Copies of this chain bind each other. A is one copy, B any other.
């Protein structure tokens, strides 16, 4: 009986042991599955990296986690957040503990950072943070190549255990494939954008008179869209539509496009064709879902709210908001750009022209938003391509005034010395001249 009792009790112990092990394993699997589900749903690289850091921090009971990505082209490690500072940092891929791990492929579990010779205390000094213990592990892709580094700091209790290492190892492989996907997505997105930007710049360059026009119109339009608090997807549509609004000019013969003298009616009709050409070219492109409206926005930049515009003579209700924004930005840039042998038209005259067409050509609330653009932003766009010549203190001053303000001051005169000084600063940039190549 004694024996049987003993046997039973030891069997129970064994069962309990097994049960406990299985339960631990189970909860580990559960959290790993949750991590995997969370990570695999994100394709935007920045969002993903923040999610990874968050997930690791929570699952390893740590105070901080930074993920560094290895840029193989430049042999650098970079991160969006390092040591709690939200910005991109970059450093050579063999520097510091993260660099050691990236290069050697080893995991470093350091219970006392300040006792380790590889630890660089400079960052703590700068940020006021106190690193105690740290777990640094390479992130590897399917081919077992290092694509980044996890750095986990200050476990809430004690220092990092071998179970922590194991868990991080498991998270790492999931994170790696999510990062690879996001990098690929990012690359192709960047290719697409830079292709459109380059093309738009190249087309502008064909017509030296309007060089930089599409780029500046894009900057104005995005600025106005932000002032109107449009959502990110809509701003994106407006950005692409602005970059591409004049693409139809490919189809306008240079002999008409570049004519210096007044255009005949026939020639003007040919020029006007560019708006519908923009539409027919862009309509052939398979835009991703979010950008489906780009062709419509781009091709309505010469429509007027009273229906007297082209190519379709649409009225206010039928012109997309993006088209209305583009219309104002397009005319403003045409009126304020420098021409050979000609300075800029005075800003108050420019705005007078726009005011006179507000309510017939332009949508009043768009013009209203346009006038609220800050002068530092305005100068940066007007002088796009020559921005290295803008003085920081000038921009600081201009920031306090809007386009509406400067027009008022130009017409009614400055009310105080600051206004007078600001006006002088603005006009210095507005009227400065360059040798045109």
Measured CB to CB, the residues of A under 8 A from B are 1, 4-5, 8, 11-12, 15-16, 18-19, 22-23, 25-26, 29-30, 32-33, 36-37, 39-41, 43, 142, 173-174, 177-178, 180-181, 184-185, 187-196, 198-199, 201-203, 205-206, 247, 250-251, 253-255, 281, 284-289, 291
Contacts and interface: CB of A to CB of B under 8 A. Distances in A.
Contact of A254 (B26, B181, B254, B286): B254
A202 B250 contact: yes
Q: Say how many copies of this protein the assembly contains.
A: 2
A15 B203 CA distance: 76
The 9 closest A-B pairs by CB, nearest first: A40-B40, A187-B288, A41-B177, A29-B29, A15-B15, A194-B286, A22-B22, A36-B36, A192-B192
B190 A288 contact: yes
B12 A288 contact: no
A70 to B, nearest CB: 13
Contact of A12 (B8, B181, B199): B8
Contacts of A202: 247, 250-251, 281
Nearest to A257: B254
A8 B23 CA distance: 22
25 contacts: A4-B5, A15-B15, A15-B19, A26-B26, A33-B36, A39-B40, A40-B177, A41-B177, A41-B181, A43-B181, A181-B181, A185-B185, A188-B288, A191-B286, A193-B286, A195-B195, A195-B196, A195-B285, A198-B285, A201-B284, A202-B250, A202-B281, A205-B251, A206-B250, A254-B255
B19 A16 contact: no
Contacts of A205: 251
Contacts of A195: 192, 195-196, 285
A43 to B, nearest CB: 5
A193 B195 CA distance: 11
Contact of A11 (B4, B12, B174): B12
A199 B281 CA distance: 8
Contacts of A181: 40-41, 43, 181, 185
Contact of A185 (B33, B36, B188, B247): B188
Contacts of A37: 36, 173-174, 177
Contact of A8 (B8, B192, B253): B8
Nearest to A193: B286
Given A29-B29, A198-B281, A187 B40 contact: no
Nearest to A248: B202
A68 to B, nearest CB: 19
Contacts of A188: 185, 188-189, 192, 288
Contact of A184 (B18, B33, B39, B43): B43
B174 A40 contact: yes
Given A174-B36, A285-B198, A251 B206 contact: yes
A354 B174 CA distance: 54
Given A4-B5, A29-B29, A192-B195, 9 more contacts: A8-B12, A22-B26, A33-B36, A36-B40, A43-B180, A191-B285, A201-B284, A202-B250, A206-B250
A18 B37 CA distance: 27
A298 to B, nearest CB: 13
A181 to B, nearest CB: 5
Contacts of A288: 184, 187-188, 190-191
